[in-house]
């Protein structure tokens, strides 16, 4: 599947004031109706002032139609925030570029915290799978060791509002290079980025015993069609990649979900794809960034009196 970007464009009525630092940039990507503290009061800006950032608006718009049966190839560069995680030089998981230094992905993509060209991997502290039978807290942030320069082919996805819950039936798009065969014993990476339209399955439906029962939590999103002849899903290799949605047609794309888990074979009746709900973890994301900035500042000022 595929990637797009995180920083949300300002409306002209929202003023032109810049927020310094990484936290300020990311907070601008969260919808303006969310009240957040002014991080600059507590942490010095380390990245300078960056104004007029936009997110969720690909320079090359994706071709989205009302119905996609089994997924389809994505238009090149139409999901410009899609990231391929390659800890062993081969595609393993997807990710979402949400800032020039940060990628949002799944915690289970890093059972071994060995990775190249990154300066930090932050898995959620409460992630315990497979020690526990549920894949809860399946979220991670990856700190890149350099800046990603935005272009027509690379950009950021927006973040949703805190605790925003998508209504049942809302159509979103998942993207990635995951397996197209459904053969869990011999999964293979797709040659090109694929996209698939998936409607949200209400939590009350997804938690039923004949669906995912106790394995699904309120901090997750279930997506997929319910009729056997309409089944489609994400698959191995799509993990960590984005589930993006628009509030309105033509609006900014927001990363509402992180591909987490699904049934063996990927497609099964009453077993929709399950995503980590990113809106449930915005405080965690902010805290990780706060700690990272604090640690960098402490390291750079160590020994000074």
With CA atoms as reference, report the closest residue to 121 among 152, 156, 78, 92: 92
Catalytic residue among 239, 252, 278, 279: 239
204 an active-site residue? Answer: no
Q: How many angstroms separate the CA atoms of 46 and 284, rounded?
A: 20
239 an active-site residue? Answer: yes
**Do the Cβ atoms of 234 and 255 come closer than 8 Å?**
no
Q: How many angstroms separate the CA atoms of 244 and 144, rounded?
A: 22
Joined tokens for residue 57: 């608006």
184 an active-site residue? Answer: no
Catalytic residue among 99, 108, 124, 256: 108
134 class by beta-carbon count within 10 Å (0-12 exposed, 13-18 middle, 19+ buried): middle
Catalytic residue among 84, 99, 138, 252: 138
Q: How many angstroms separate the CA atoms of 40 and 205, rounded?
A: 43
Joined tokens for residue 80: 């410009």
Three-state SS letters, 21-73: HHHHHHHCCCCCCCCCCCHHHCCCCCCCCCCCCCCCCCCCCCCCCCCCCCCEE
Residues belonging to the active site: 108, 138, 239
């Amino acid at each position: 599947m595929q990637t797009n970007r995180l920083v949300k464009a300002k409306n002209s009525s929202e003023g032109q004031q810049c927020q310094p630092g990484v936290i300020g940039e990311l907070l601008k990507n969260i919808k303006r109706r969310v009240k957040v503290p002014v991080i600059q009061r507590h942490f010095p800006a380390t990245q300078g002032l960056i104004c007029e950032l936009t997110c969720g608006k690909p320079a090359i718009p994706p071709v989205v139609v009302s119905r996609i049966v089994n997924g389809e190839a994505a238009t090149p560069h139409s999901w410009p925030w899609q990231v391929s995680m390659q800890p062993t030089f081969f595609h393993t998981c997807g990710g979402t570029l949400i800032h020039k230094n940060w990628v949002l992905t799944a915690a289970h993509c890093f059972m071994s915290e060995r990775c190249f060209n990154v300066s930090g991997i932050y898995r959620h502290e409460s992630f315990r799978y497979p020690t526990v039978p549920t894949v809860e807290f399946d979220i991670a942030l990856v700190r890149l060791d350099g800046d990603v320069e935005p272009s027509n082919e690379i950009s950021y996805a927006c973040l949703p509002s805190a605790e925003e819950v998508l209504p049942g039936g809302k159509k979103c798009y998942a993207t990635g290079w995951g397996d197209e065969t459904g053969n869990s014993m011999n999964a293979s990476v797709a040659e090109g980025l694929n996209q698939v339209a998936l409607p949200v399955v209400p939590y009350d439906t997804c938690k039923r015993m004949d669906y995912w029962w106790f394995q699904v939590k309120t901090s997750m999103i279930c997506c997929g069609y319910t009729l056997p002849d309409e089944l489609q899903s994400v698959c191995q290799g799509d993990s960590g990649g984005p589930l993006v949605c628009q509030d309105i047609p033509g609006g900014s794309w927001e990363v509402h979900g992180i591909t987490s888990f699904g049934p063996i074979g990927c497609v099964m009746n009453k077993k929709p794809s399950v995503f980590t709900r990113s809106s449930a973890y915005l405080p965690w994301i902010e805290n990780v960034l706060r700690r990272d900035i604090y640690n960098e500042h402490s390291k750079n000022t160590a020994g000074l009196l």
